[in-house]
């Protein structure tokens, strides 16, 4: 039986652009294994395809007694600095706006079974992650996703990450209008765009349909867009309030108002201009200060506003800025014409489930249903079950949510009992979605290299403990939000929780003890309106008691209608800290050694496994990427020539030279297009004739190779094709030297 590959099996199913990207990545994997791509460049390359590292991928793991070396087969090969090739990684899958089809979910279920551990994980940015994936499986994984319309491109790395959007869009009572088509337009416009390839750090964009609800969480995004309308000349016009410079991380920054009115027509170019400003002026050396929020604070919002307006004027017009407006309705959803199972009796637990997991839509008779996923996890079998429910009860209205759950929209009220019964059978009918017992957590020390304390271990304990006591709580207390981050980087979004916890470590009598810093009174509503107060650190094993204490006090002492945030502000930080003092003590090791182990982990606690995180990626410039693409092109040309395909080899050689020329020329001309004629012309005018593209030994000779081959057209025989390849290699080598010269000029130094 002949062996088919996934590439062959899916031929014709994968959109050409997505397929080409995956082939590029697969070639880069091959080149890295041959040592022909620098490890930092490869690391950023794979991050920009969502191929992330995991804890212990430096080849070391503390077993509770000592650190062991992990004897991976390819011991000397790395996929990034201090990152072993064979170490399992995490594949992040972007789900733009959280919108997922049943077929896409089924494919993810298949991928989880074959390449991962059979578990799908929903993140706090509406992505889906698969853990323990081997890098050599990722091209096929990406192909299978591409065949159902999903790209993992720019899921990680220093670029625009997944664009998130309100999951109630189109059904919400308070929204100005449905933001989904706008979020989609921004997603696909910026994906792979030149102006987002040179960023010094990740960039996050969110959309919200209204100001008061939390769904978009605009206040802690690099760009937050809040829908609004205006009456202009007798017509209702759509636009956005645009805020910039928000971010959580170690120190949260609230976004600031850039403009209270950005029209639909200006949405895309404004976002593009902001990205350009960040790429041009953002910090790239000091990774800790490289987020956009730091630039906004450094320059001030007025200056940012001026810079964005100035950049906007320079942009090369792009028809995509407005072309999407002619098909705004393509994402509109509708219900099934009739309920499918209206006579189903209510099962046990239905009433509570309905009270907590069902949100009436503004359209009478329909509901948005939350499917609560414990710690954001569900199995492949459960995923297939949900996919069936999506097809049975809806017209493909599934979403992932930022609280690590799923949501089905447009469910007939009459179908709720039947849907609940099906969810019970799947083990997915837990009530309390988005409330106190539905604890949100980042991956933490389970798999993250930066995790300090076990956020998932704690979250699991809290969820179990809080879930058993729901009948003893008021609705107000049950609605509180608990979020846990494994470290100060805030991936669990603890700053905006009612009760937030971030992992820290303390030294007690010479031993390390896992702790969590307690942060109270954050505001989830009003688009994450404000950040909580840090109260103090308690040992991890005492956090459940802290939760009991604080929720108990709120339950007993709150005033009518008082939110937890207002309660915290009223009684004050000092009083809250005083009530937590007794939980801050750590018993001696002899008294209770369990304090010296983290939740769900029998090992003696250590911070020795903390590695170098990849959230910051590697700063690789647009030019470096372009030159790497040129090198890859030369490699492919050589292979084609070796296979006797000299015509294709010649074309690939020329394309490699054009790639290198474009990378360099764009440094001087940011609006450079992608057509070869324009690139060659601008390269000649800006780099060759001024004498910039030259080196000490050959002068400007190597530049002539591109000019001549571009003008000459295809070579006539294999010998000429070989000559072209050799000259292309010399050209790309010279391009590297020119890059060094440009860098030296930019920094004021003289090039060697």
Give me the residues that bind another protein (CB under 8 A), please. 3-6, 9, 56, 61, 63-65, 68, 70-73, 86-88, 106, 109-110, 113-115, 117-119, 131-132, 134, 136-137, 374-375, 377-379, 381-382, 384, 426-428, 446-447, 456-457, 460, 463-464, 600-603
Instruction: Identify which of 730, 729, 709, 711 has the alpha carbon closest to the alpha carbon of residue 720.
Output: 709
Identify which of residues 73 and 317 has a Cβ nearer to another protein in the complex: 73
State how far the Cα of 483 lies from the Cα of 123, in Å rounded to an integer: 13
Identify which of residues 382 and 453 has a Cβ nearer to another protein in the complex: 382
- Minimum CB separation of residue 427 from another protein in Å reads 3
Alpha helices in 699-752 (DSSP H): 701-712, 718-747
- Minimum CB separation of residue 136 from another protein in Å reads 6
Identify which of residues 88 and 521 has a Cβ nearer to another protein in the complex: 88
Identify which of residues 88 and 532 has a Cβ nearer to another protein in the complex: 88
Task: Enumerate the β-bridge partners of residue 597.
Answer: 604
Identify which of residues 52 and 207 has a Cβ nearer to another protein in the complex: 52
Contact (CB, 8 A) for 221 and 293:
no
Contact (CB, 8 A) for 193 and 205:
no
State how far the Cα of 1 lies from the Cα of 294, in Å rounded to an integer: 59
Contact (CB, 8 A) for 175 and 226:
no
- Minimum CB separation of residue 452 from another protein in Å reads 18
- Cα 474 to chain centroid distance, Å, stands at 36
Identify which of residues 278 and 353 has a Cβ nearer to another protein in the complex: 353
Q: Which helix (H) or strand (E) holds 92?
A: strand 89-93
Identify which of residues 248 and 463 has a Cβ nearer to another protein in the complex: 463
Task: Enumerate the β-bridge partners of residue 508.
Answer: 511
Identify which of residues 427 and 644 has a Cβ nearer to another protein in the complex: 427
Q: Is 519 helix (H, G, I), strand (E, B) or coil?
A: strand
- Minimum CB separation of residue 437 from another protein in Å reads 12
Identify which of residues 363 and 388 has a Cβ nearer to another protein in the complex: 388
3-class SS string, 193-256: CHHHCCCCCCECEEEECCCCCCCCCHHHCCEEEEEEEEEECCEEEEEEEEEECCECCCCCECCE
Contact (CB, 8 A) for 505 and 514:
yes
- Minimum CB separation of residue 510 from another protein in Å reads 21
- Minimum CB separation of residue 438 from another protein in Å reads 12
DSSP for residue 4: P
Identify which of residues 87 and 620 has a Cβ nearer to another protein in the complex: 87
Contact (CB, 8 A) for 446 and 456:
yes
Q: Is 44 helix (H, G, I), strand (E, B) or coil?
A: helix
Instruction: Identify which of 104, 610, 632 has the alpha carbon closest to the alpha carbon of residue 387.
Output: 104
- Minimum CB separation of residue 19 from another protein in Å reads 17
Q: Which residues of 141-178 are buried (b: 16+ CB within 10 A; e: fewer)?
A: bbbbbbbbebbbbbbbbbbbbbbbbbbbbbbbeebbbb
- Cα 618 to chain centroid distance, Å, stands at 16
- Minimum CB separation of residue 519 from another protein in Å reads 24
Q: Which helix (H) or strand (E) holds 128?
A: strand 128-133
- Minimum CB separation of residue 131 from another protein in Å reads 8
- Minimum CB separation of residue 532 from another protein in Å reads 25
Tokens representing 316?
């090369």
Identify which of residues 198 and 437 has a Cβ nearer to another protein in the complex: 437
- Minimum CB separation of residue 502 from another protein in Å reads 21
Identify which of residues 549 and 601 has a Cβ nearer to another protein in the complex: 601
Residue-by-residue DSSP string for 262-296: EEHHHHHHHHHHHHHHHHHHS--S-GGG-SHHHHH
Identify which of residues 63 and 689 has a Cβ nearer to another protein in the complex: 63
Instruction: Identify which of 516, 517, 510, 518 has the alpha carbon closest to the alpha carbon of residue 540.
Output: 516
Torsional sign, CA 188, 191, 194, 199: positive
- Minimum CB separation of residue 78 from another protein in Å reads 16
Contact (CB, 8 A) for 721 and 646:
yes
Torsional sign, CA 578, 475, 420, 433: negative
- Minimum CB separation of residue 81 from another protein in Å reads 20
Tokens representing 127?
């992505």
- Minimum CB separation of residue 605 from another protein in Å reads 13
């Amino acid at each position: 039986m002949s062996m088919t590959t996934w590439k062959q099996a899916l031929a014709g199913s994968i959109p050409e652009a997505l397929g080409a990207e995956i082939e590029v990545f697969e070639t880069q994997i091959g080149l890295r294994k041959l040592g022909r791509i620098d490890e930092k460049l490869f690391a950023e390359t794979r991050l920009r395809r969502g191929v992330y590292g995991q804890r212990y991928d430096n080849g070391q793991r503390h077993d509770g007694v000592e650190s062991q070396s992990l004897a991976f087969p390819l011991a000397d090969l790395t996929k990034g600095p201090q990152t072993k090739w064979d170490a399992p990684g995490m594949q992040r899958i972007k789900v733009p706006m959280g919108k997922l089809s049943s077929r896409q979910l089924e494919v993810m279920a298949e991928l989880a079974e074959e390449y991962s551990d059979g578990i799908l994980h929903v993140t706090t940015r509406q992505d889906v992650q698969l853990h323990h994936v081997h890098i050599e499986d990722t091209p096929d994984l990406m192909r299978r996703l591409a065949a159902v319309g999903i790209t993992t491109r720019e899921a990680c790395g220093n670029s625009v990450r997944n664009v998130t959007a309100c999951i109630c869009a189109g059904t919400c009572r308070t929204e100005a209008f449905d933001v989904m088509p706008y979020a989609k337009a921004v997603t696909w416009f910026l994906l792979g765009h030149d102006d987002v390839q040179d960023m010094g750090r990740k960039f996050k964009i969110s959309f919200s349909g209204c100001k008061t609800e939390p769904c978009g969480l605009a206040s802690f995004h690099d760009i937050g867009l809040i829908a609004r309308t205006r009456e202009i000349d007798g017509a209702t016009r759509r636009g956005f309030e645009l805020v910039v410079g928000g971010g959580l991380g170690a120190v949260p920054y609230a976004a600031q108002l850039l403009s209270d009115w950005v029209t639909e027509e200006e949405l895309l170019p404004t976002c593009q201009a902001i990205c350009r400003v960040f790429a041009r002026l953002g910090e790239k050396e000091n990774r800790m200060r490289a987020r956009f929020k730091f630039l906004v604070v450094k320059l001030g919002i007025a200056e940012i506003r001026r810079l964005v307006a100035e950049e906007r004027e320079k942009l090369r017009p792009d028809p995509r800025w407005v072309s999407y407006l002619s098909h705004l309705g393509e994402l509109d959803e509708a219900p099934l014409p009739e309920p499918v199972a209206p006579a189903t009796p209510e099962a046990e637990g239905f009433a509570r489930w309905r009270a907590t997991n069902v949100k009436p839509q503004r359209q009478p008779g329909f509901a948005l249903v939350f499917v609560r996923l414990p710690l954001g996890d569900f199995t492949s079998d459960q995923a297939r079950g949900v996919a069936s429910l999506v097809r049975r009860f809806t017209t493909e209205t599934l979403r992932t949510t930022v609280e690590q759950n799923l949501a089905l929209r447009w469910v007939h009220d009459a179908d709720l009992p039947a849907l609940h019964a099906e969810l019970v059978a799947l083990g997915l009918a837990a009530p309390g979605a988005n409330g106190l017992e539905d604890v949100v957590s980042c991956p933490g020390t389970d798999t993250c290299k930066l995790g300090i304390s076990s956020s998932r271990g704690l979250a699991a304990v809290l969820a179990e403990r809080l879930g058993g006591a729901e009948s003893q709580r008021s609705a107000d207390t049950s609605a509180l939000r608990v979020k846990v981050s494994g470290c100060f980087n805030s991936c669990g979004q603890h700053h905006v929780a009612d009760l937030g916890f971030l992992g820290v470590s303390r030294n007690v009598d010479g031993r390390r003890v896992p702790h969590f810093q307690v942060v109270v009174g954050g505001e989830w509503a009003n688009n994450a309106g404000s950040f909580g107060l840090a109260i103090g650190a308690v040992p991890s094993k005492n956090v459940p008691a802290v939760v009991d204490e604080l929720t108990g006090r709120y339950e007993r002492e709150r005033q009518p209608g008082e939110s937890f945030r207002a309660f915290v502000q009223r009684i004050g930080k000092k009083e809250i800290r005083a009530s937590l003092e007794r939980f801050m003590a750590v018993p001696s090791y002899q008294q209770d050694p369990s304090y010296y182990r983290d939740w769900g982990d029998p090992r003696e606690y250590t911070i020795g496994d903390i590695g170098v995180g990849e959230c910051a990626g590697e700063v690789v410039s647009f030019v470096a990427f372009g030159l790497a693409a040129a090198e890859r092109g030369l490699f492919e040309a050589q292979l084609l020539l070796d296979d006797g395909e000299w015509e294709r080899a010649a074309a690939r050689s020329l394309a490699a030279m054009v790639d290198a020329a474009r990378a360099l020329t764009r440094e001087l001309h940011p609006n450079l297009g992608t057509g070869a004629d324009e690139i060659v012309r601008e390269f000649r005018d800006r780099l060759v004739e001024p004498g910039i593209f030259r080196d000490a030994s050959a002068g400007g000779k190597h530049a002539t190779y591109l000019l001549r081959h571009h003008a000459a057209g295809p070579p006539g025989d294999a010998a000429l094709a070989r000559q072209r390849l050799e000259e292309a290699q010399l050209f790309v080598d010279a391009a590297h030297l020119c890059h060094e010269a440009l860098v030296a000029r930019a920094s004021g130094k003289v090039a060697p």
